[in-house]
Amino acid sequence: MIRSLFTGGGSWSPLIWSSAFFFLLLAALWFRKLGKETYKEGTDQTEPFLSGQEPPRVEQLHVASSNAYWGLTEALRNYLGPLEKLHSGVLNDYFGWLVVSLALGLVLFSLF
């Protein structure tokens, strides 16, 4: 007798699921074996198909972040423009903004 775990969503039998997984694995391996055996690694067969075009050089494949985020930065230009003026790149400035923001937050929190 096969024991099942009955749940609110149905039943789960480990023996049935394990055997189903095993038979699906055998079917996948059999299907893989049906493939052509003329495949040779390291030849033109391993190159991507680009409709007869030459693949680009590796240097041309790099996408700069300014290109990747162009739409976002262009859409938020009016918002990001003033923020760029506040961005100095000096770590002391950022800690100063953090201290001022925390102090202001604590003062407002204590008032309410």
Q: Give the pair of three-digit tokens for residue 53.
A: 């075009």
Domain boundaries, given as residue ranges, for the chain: 71-112
CA–CA gap between residue 112 and residue 104 (Å, rounded): 13
The verdict on pTM exceeding 0.85 is no
Summarised one tens digit per residue, pLDDT across range 40-85 is: 888 888 888 888 888 888 888 887 777 888 898 899 999 988 888 8
3 — pLDDT class (breaks 50, 70, 90): low
CB atoms within 10 A of CB 4: 13
Residue 6: predicted pLDDT: 66
CA–CA gap between residue 34 and residue 51 (Å, rounded): 27
Q: Which residues pair with 92 in a beta bridge?
A: none
Three-class secondary structure of residue 77 per DSSP: helix
92: left (phi over 0), alpha (psi -120 to 50) or beta: alpha
Residue 88: predicted pLDDT: 84
